[in-house]
A and B are shown apart, each in its own frame.
Chain A
Amino acid sequence: MRRRSFILGGIGLGGALIVGWGLLPPRSRLGTRETLPPVAGSVALNGWIRVDADGTIAIAVPRSEMGQGVYTALPMLAAEELGVGLERVRVEQAPLDAIFGNVAVLTANLPFPPDEAQTVMVRASEWIVAKLARELDLQITGGSTSVRDAWQPMRTAGAAAREMLLAAAAKRWNTAPSQCRVADGVVRHLDGRSVPLQDLIGALREVPLPSDVRLKQMRYFKLLGRPVPRLDVPDKVTGKARFGIDLRLPGMLFAALRASPTIGGTLRHVDPGPALAQAGVVRVSTLPAAAGSAPAVAVVAKSWWLAQQALAKLRIDWDEGPNGDMSTDWLFARLRGALGAEEGFVFLERGDGEAALGRAVQLIEADYRAPYLAHAALEPMNCTARFSNGRLEIWAPTQVPSVLRHVAARAAGIGEDRVKVNVTLLGGGFGRRLEVDFVPQAVWLARDVAPAPVQLIWSREEDTTHDFYRPAAVAKMKGGLDASGMPFALVAKIASDAIVPQYLKRTYPSLAAAGGPVLGATDKTTVEGLFDQPYEFEHSRCAHVERHSPVPIGFWRSVGHSYNAFFMESFIDEMAYAAKREPLDFRRLLLANRPRHRAVLELAAARTRLRRLGPGRALGVALHEAFGSIVAQIAEVSLENGAIRVHRVVCAIDCGVTVNPQIVAQQMESGVVFGLTAALYGEITISGGRVQQRSFPDYRMLTLAETPSIETYIVPSQAAPGGVGEAGTPPIAPAVANALFRLTGRRLRSLPLRLAGS
């Protein structure tokens, strides 16, 4: 089936759901004074902003802070319009409310190439999906959408609050609001009088919420675009920052668990006796599979270490289930078989598509592959729950509080209105904390020991062996050059499992059942970075073959881009050498009509040239667009005793308007280290149905000593903001692979990058 009919089907499905819920009024995201929980002596100005008794501005952030800087970048949006500096701002995690739902995360995932972005069909489906997102109340931190989603509503909230401050002060002075300004924590009259914000609290209660506000023009920005220090940093250098695992409640118990070591295995029998005989042990519980989790045995004790020690005393009899013979070799053979045998779902067909390759004077063809990867967030999976009087309260480092509440309520058999979710700081997310597999486990344990609260913590070994892995993928890339050596055709076909339908099955099974086939086949995460790549070919085609396997898969920082950038940018390099052109020149040729992409490439190249290339080193370039941002990386690479050594990475980015250049640079550094870890070491293998890697010694991380110097340069832009949390990850693997080709003449087409004998 072709893309368009599927997409129309998808729009129909979305439309049907909306009609099913009744016709919805257009909904403002400003919220009301009642959206935030009341605080004595303060006044809420709308759903996002409150003036507290000490004159501090409390700003609600509906996204999770997992290192990417949302606790700073998002308040900056509101503070800019409000006219206050961040030193007067206190960040609060927003409660669950429809105004905080992430609309961008759904609209950004529609399967349309950028060239079609302005067509009526795309606009219509974005509109429907945006409505859907609001009704679903999807409070999701993912897809690098936090700034993109908050850009309008949080600036609007700030501007609306500013108008109210001015109105309150104007009333006090019996003058017009236009005679007043917000500055330095006060409202100032043009004649020099001023009033502190806390003195306006009473008057602000009487000022109505404005119905229409005007946003600042970019040239008047005072805060946005400046390297403002992060608000979360001071507590993170003193040990005061509280992550989910740091929560302490009176009478709290701790739980450790062991889940089925085989994928798809079940629990046959366990005798709890040996664990119960241990000092400090309160209970042994068995936990069925739920929300994607494997069946498990848990021990609850007075400290986590005691629980973990007692767990080791248990002899658990597992049934290995149907996958006891499953191995990574078998999984890859299946993917390769599917790639050869099936046409797949066509996401893009332009010109004559694959038929054009018949006219190629030179045909270039290559097979690529990428392995399963674990997230390995440094804070192991954990969740704290307390059940009392039929109400459930949960504290969790999560990227999806609304999904979590839904799944927790289902596990508890109570309504969502009786579940309270508290989002803590996250010790790394990377997509792993979009999952809620540990939530039913914590809920059931809390019910078993109610009314005591219980903190479930997975060991590192459980975390590594029970992840939702970045899916493995294989690709066949074909390119055609004409008689003059010009590239004119590109055909990409990949085979992998699809994440979105699996995710929906474990979180919203009814929605998955209703929209299953449509949602599965149009999961653009499988081909993102390939079907929407920026190089212009007269003829092109991009297809995906979905091959489901029992291996749990999930969203891993940059998702499909993480492997598609490697396939695409390595292959473009291959085509460049076949065409006997410099890789940089070849890219320029294909980007003749893409000024933003060219500017990014030129900036990276110019900065790279400022330093002389060391002896025995080579450069490799990669350019990739993802999450609304364009990133180029140039890697300087050598071999040291046969091992790959990356010395320097020059990174240029166009992320549209820059909110905080310091955070952009941090995220580029972060993306490079994360991507380089995967490029050099990342590989999860399966044997006998079990994941073989268990902890950091065998699932290796890049260390400080192995980290290159990383320089980030930003192309000034006034375009709509793009995401920066993930865009830095995809280009580094192909940049290093391309440098290695230049250095050694060997083209590495499989990740992680390994030279023979190393």
Chain B
Amino acid sequence: MELELNGQRVSVDPPPGMPLLWVLRDLLGLTGTKFGCGIGACGACTVLIDGRAVPSCVVRAADAKGRKILTIEGLASGETLHVLQRAWIGHQVPQCGYCQSGMLMAAAALLARHPDPTDAQIDAAISNLCRCGTYPRVRAAIRAAAQTDGKSK
């Protein structure tokens, strides 16, 4: 099977029914996308498929065929960090860091749809769970990234 992953075509031969998460982690060695619950409830495994944030633990890899998959490993453009990654560093968001890949991907999908999101839009888009309680900084960093992006355009 061929997947379009982080702008590149990759060949992989997963067992039938294997979710995208495990194809990424166990077959392709891309461990930035995390396993948290396996039922799409925590958001640690969030990736973008055709720009939409989805929990990769409940999406079969076969169903992602022919669509553009973006993981945390592909969020930066080469050495240039995504505006959200820079905001995340600026606001010192991560603590343990385990949920942060999923948080960033959910935030990237949000900003792509709403370049200057309201609080309500942030509330609705970021349903990812963070046990360390980085939420206030996640909100602040998304706002800052939206401001930076707006200025740079």
Contacts and interface: CB of A to CB of B under 8 A. Distances in A.
A219 interface: no
A707 B38 CA distance: 25
B41 A239 contact: no
Interface residues of B, number: 58
A427 B98 contact: yes
Contact of B135 (A232, A460, A697, A707): A707
Nearest to B90: A229
A719 interface: no
A238 B72 contact: yes
A701 interface: yes
Interface in A443-462: 457, 459-460
B126 interface: yes
Contacts of B124: 705
A242 B94 contact: no
B131 A457 contact: no
A674 interface: yes
Nearest to A670: B133
B99 interface: yes
Interface in A273-321: 279-280, 302-306, 308-309
B15 A280 contact: yes
A378 B15 contact: no
Interface stretch (A243-251, A522-530, A561-569): A243-251
Per DSSP, chain A at the interface is loop
B97 A232 contact: yes
Contacts of B138: 704
B92 A238 contact: no
Contacts of A303: 15, 18, 22, 26-27
A627 interface: no
A67 B122 contact: no
Interface string B33-48: 1111111011010000
A239 B101 contact: yes
Given A242-B31, A245-B35, A304-B22, A233 B89 contact: yes
Contacts of B35: 245, 304, 380, 457
Interface in A219-249: 229-230, 232-243, 245-246, 248
A3 B93 CA distance: 45
Given A240-B32, A666-B95, A701 B129 contact: yes
A190 B57 CA distance: 61
A704 B131 contact: no
Contacts of B136: 669, 707, 709-710
A68 interface: yes
Given A239-B72, A239-B73, A245 B96 contact: no
Interface string A634-652: 0000000000000000000
A672 interface: yes
Contacts of B132: 67, 428, 670, 673-674
B121 to A, nearest CB: 11
Interface in B79-132: 81, 85, 88-89, 92-101, 104, 122-124, 126-132
B76 A238 contact: yes
Contacts of B15: 279-280, 303, 305-306
B81 A238 contact: yes
Given A704-B139, A707-B133, A378 B36 contact: yes
B32 A238 contact: yes
Contact of B92 (A306, A427, A666, A695): A666
Nearest to A230: B92
A237 B95 contact: no
A425 B31 CA distance: 13
B7 interface: no
B14 to A, nearest CB: 9
Interface string A352-390: 000000000000000000000000111110000000000
A241 B97 contact: yes
Contacts of B122: 704
A32 interface: no
B29 interface: yes
B137 interface: yes
Nearest to A667: B95
A40 to B, nearest CB: 28
A378 B92 contact: no
A257 to B, nearest CB: 14
Interface string B12-32: 000101110010001101111
Nearest to A430: B131
Contacts of B135: 673, 702-704, 707
Nearest to A701: B129
A380 B97 contact: no
Contacts of A280: 15
B13 to A, nearest CB: 12
A279 B16 CA distance: 10
A740 interface: no
B49 to A, nearest CB: 17
A426 interface: yes
A373 to B, nearest CB: 12
A317 to B, nearest CB: 25
A696 B129 contact: yes
A674 B131 contact: yes
A455 to B, nearest CB: 10
Given A239-B71, A303-B15, A709-B136, 4 more contacts: A236-B97, A704-B139, A705-B127, A707-B136
Interface of B: 15, 17-19, 22, 26-27, 29-39, 41-42, 44, 71-73, 75-76, 81, 85, 88-89, 92-101, 104, 122-124, 126-139
Pick the 6 closest A-B CB pairs, nearest first: A239-B32, A673-B133, A427-B98, A67-B96, A67-B95, A236-B97
29 contacts: A67-B132, A232-B94, A233-B88, A236-B94, A239-B73, A243-B34, A243-B97, A279-B15, A304-B26, A306-B15, A308-B38, A309-B17, A378-B36, A379-B34, A379-B36, A425-B97, A428-B98, A460-B36, A666-B95, A674-B132, A696-B37, A696-B41, A696-B42, A697-B39, A701-B131, A704-B126, A705-B124, A707-B133, A707-B135
